[in-house]
């Protein structure tokens, strides 16, 4: 008898175990519970929220418009919450997630402070044996991971971190208690979407701020008006329109690509870019000219437009040299929205240090040491150093499928999924926000996660109706999806640029564009076709 079978006695028995109580997990509980299933979500945190629980660093906020970062399955739920501004901050978002949880009465089906450390598929019982860090065993027919695309922080990067005399925080593990910043010498490592939000927020509060810059970043200014009653009423009146539009656009946002580059004169293109830029959103990236992702010349022209905007604000040629990208195209990295971020570098208490050719080699008790031996003395280090995206949340759990194969080993060689939701060799494992689906990179997360959790619920409903106990994608259907994914992704300039989008931020991670780049609407259609075909290519056993 294998270890899993021996341990089934005393296990918590469920129809479905969900990992995570963030945007996806909450809705997945609700759907499966409504189907009469015995379901429980296991959440490592002490409360709901996922991303919006963990990322409580100074300045954390949406850069999708609040009124689209929404559940659209219930008009009452949508209309029962009023946002205070276009791009609200983390505290308001976290409150909204509590509102959703309590409105749907979800807490009774969530176990908090319960980190899942292993999940082994038992081929005898055809069920998952799942263990928490505290030693609880769960025996479930289905394992559904709602762990988030960006939830495995890269927080142990430098030798000597434990020797530092001050405090080190990874942004995704920011403490709940207030952190005294006044008068402190603070170093920020990283200028991705997170680092930028931190930097622009703390610069005026700290004594000295040193920003360690490796790869420059294109940025777009955010326009974030407060919402009065009339604004709230106006967006709520758009509920039906948003419900009908968001699932079908390229990125799950309310806007879509409107123009063809070749149809416009150079002057008109410039006017269009200017007009969209003034929108103060991600629209220039996600809904201007799709050609920027495929045609190097278009990419260069749009990149130059953004560089011009950045130059006009930075003024100082040295800062321009350090902070404006030259060797990759706009939009092939995740584009951050910012507020007076570039102007921060003009402050007398802020300095930018290039660590491109002179990298950080060590954390020492006094601060941070560079390759040339320079030590930057600091009281506090903020690691805005990102995540092992997509796969990391899952490979950090000991997930074993048929034949004892581990996801960590399998994905250590090649990150493969069928439609981003299942993996050959791992029966009855469903995933959301996982590699080879649009989630996170080019997607409004709530749009994508609603679609995936609904697809999963529909699939399980189908299985129950047909008396099917186990589903697993065949090797062929997985291979077909991986090939389609790669063909789509490799035509996209995203595949040529280093960033978490291709896994290049994690040494040794197999390179593949993590997110499906064929568009949110297309992805939905392809997933629907699978369901309509009776899950052709997915092996089902009674
Ligand atoms: P990220 O985009 O991966 O950025 C990490 C930063 O850390 C980069 O600047 C990277 O430099 C730097 N870095 C990493 N290791 C380093 C080292 N050893 N030395 C020097 N620099 C180092 O991570 P993120 O900023 O946390 O953003 C991740 C994603 O989260 C975003 O792309 C976005 O999808 C999401 N996000 C969303 C929001 C929002 O919606 N409001 C806000 C924040 C984040 P290199 O580029 O040179 O590697």
The number of helix segments (H) and strand segments (E) in the chain equals 18, 20
User: What mean pLDDT comes out for the span 337-362?
Assistant: 98
Reported as a single tens digit per residue, the pLDDT across 56-79 is: 999 999 999 999 999 999 999 999
Residue 191's CB is within 10 A of a number of other CB atoms, namely: 23
pTM of the full structure: 0.97
Q: Which of 2-6, 101-105, 402-406, 518-522 has the lowest mean pLDDT?
A: 2-6
User: Is the model's pLDDT at 43 over the cut of 70?
Assistant: yes
Ligand 1 centroid – CA 499 distance (Å):
8
Report the percent of the chain where pLDDT is more than 90.
Answer: 97
Q: Which one of 193, 333, 502 would you pick to mutate in the ligand 1 pocket, going by the greatest count of ligand atoms within 8 A of its CB?
A: 193
User: Is the model's pLDDT at 5 over the cut of 70?
Assistant: no
User: What mean pLDDT comes out for the span 433-455?
Assistant: 93
- Per-residue CA distances from 227 to 88, 112, 234, 524 (Å): 10, 34, 10, 32
User: What mean pLDDT comes out for the span 334-359?
Assistant: 98
360 lines ligand 1 (CB under 6 A): yes
User: Is the model's pLDDT at 93 over the cut of 60?
Assistant: yes
User: What mean pLDDT comes out for the span 154-158?
Assistant: 97
Question: Residue 10: what pLDDT?
Answer: 87
Ligand 1 centroid – CA 230 distance (Å):
36
Ligand 1: which residue has its CA nearest to atom 10? 190
Strands 470-473 and 538-541: antiparallel
- Euclidean distance between CA atoms 45 and 414, whole angstroms: 30
Ligand 1 closest atom vs CA 504: 48
Q: Which of 162-171, 222-231, 352-361, 433-442 has the lowest mean pLDDT?
A: 433-442
User: Is the model's pLDDT at 3 over the cut of 50?
Assistant: no
Tell me if 383 sits within 8 A of 189, measured CB to CB: yes
Reported as a pLDDT band with limits 50, 70 and 90, residue 258 is confident
Q: Write phi, then psi, for 420 (nearest 5 degrees).
A: 70, 10
User: Is the model's pLDDT at 4 over the cut of 80?
Assistant: no
Ligand 1: which residue has its CA nearest to atom 29? 193
Reported as a single tens digit per residue, the pLDDT across 219-229 is: 999 999 999 99
Ligand 1 closest atom vs CA 61: 41
Report the percent of the chain where pLDDT is more than 70.
Answer: 98
Three-state secondary structure call for residue 239: helix
Reported as a pLDDT band with limits 50, 70 and 90, residue 8 is low
H-helix segments, 40-173: 51-54, 75-79, 90-103
């Amino acid at each position: 008898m294998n270890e899993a079978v021996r341990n089934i006695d005393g296990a918590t028995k469920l129809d479905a175990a969900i990992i995570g109580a963030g945007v996806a997990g909450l809705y997945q509980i609700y759907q499966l519970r409504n189907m009469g299933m015995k379901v429980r979500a296991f959440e490592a945190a002490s409360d709901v929220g996922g991303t919006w629980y963990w990322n409580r660093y100074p300045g954390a906020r949406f850069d999708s418009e609040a009124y689209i970062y929404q559940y659209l399955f219930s008009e009452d739920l949508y209309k029962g919450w009023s946002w205070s501004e276009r791009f609200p901050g983390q505290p308001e978002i976290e409150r909204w997630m509590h509102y959703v949880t309590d409105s749907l009465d979800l807490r009774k089906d969530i176990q908090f402070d319960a980190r899942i450390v292993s999940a082994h598929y038992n081929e005898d019982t055809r069920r998952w044996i799942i263990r928490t860090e505290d030693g609880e065993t769960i025996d479930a027919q289905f394992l559904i991971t709602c762990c988030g695309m960006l939830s495995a922080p890269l927080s142990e990067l430098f030798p000597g971190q434990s020797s530092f005399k001050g405090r080190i925080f990874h942004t995704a593990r920011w403490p709940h208690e207030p952190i005294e910043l006044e008068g402190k010498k603070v170093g920020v490592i990283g200028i991705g979407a997170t680092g930028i939000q931190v930097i622009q927020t703390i610069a005026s509060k700290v004594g000295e701020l040193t920003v360690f810059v490796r790869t420059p970043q294109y940025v777009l200014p955010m326009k974030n008006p407060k919402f009065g009653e009339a604004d709230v009423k106006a967006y709520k009146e758009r509920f039906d329109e948003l419900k009908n539009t968001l699932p079908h656009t390229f990125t799950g946002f309310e806007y879509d690509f409107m123009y063809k580059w070749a149809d416009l004169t150079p002057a008109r293109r410039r006017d269009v870019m200017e007009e969209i830029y003034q929108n103060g959103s991600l629209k220039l990236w996600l809904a201007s000219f799709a050609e920027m992702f495929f045609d190097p010349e278009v990419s260069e022209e749009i990149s130059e437009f953004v560089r011009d905007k950045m130059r006009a604000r930075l003024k100082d040629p040295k800062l321009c040299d350090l902070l404006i990208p030259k060797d990759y195209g706009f939009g092939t990295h995740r584009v951050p929205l910012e507020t007076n971020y570039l102007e921060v570098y003009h402050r007398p208490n802020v300095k930018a240090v290039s660590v491109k050719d002179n990298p950080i080699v060590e954390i020492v008790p006094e601060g941070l040491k560079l390759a040339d031996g320079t030590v930057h003395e600091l009281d506090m280090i903020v690691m805005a150093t990102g995540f092992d995206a997509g796969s990391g949340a899952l490979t950090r759990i000991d997930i074993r499928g048929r034949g004892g194969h581990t996801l960590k080993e399998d994905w250590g060689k090649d990150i493969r999924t069928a439609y981003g939701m299942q993996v050959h060799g791992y029966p009855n494992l469903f995933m959301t926000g996982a590699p080879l689906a649009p989630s996170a990179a080019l997607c409004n997360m709530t749009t994508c996660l609603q679609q995936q959790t609904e697809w999963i619920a529909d699939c399980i409903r189908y299985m129950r109706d047909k008396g099917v106990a186990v589903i697993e994608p065949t090797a062929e259907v997985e291979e077909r999806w991986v090939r389609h994914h790669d063909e789509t992704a490799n035509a996209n300039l995203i595949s040529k640029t280093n960033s978490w989008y291709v896994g290049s931020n994690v040494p040794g991670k197999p390179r593949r564009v993590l997110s499906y780049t064929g568009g949110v609407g297309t992805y939905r259609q392809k997933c629907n076709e699978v369901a309509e075909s009776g899950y052709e290519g997915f092996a089902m056993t009674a």
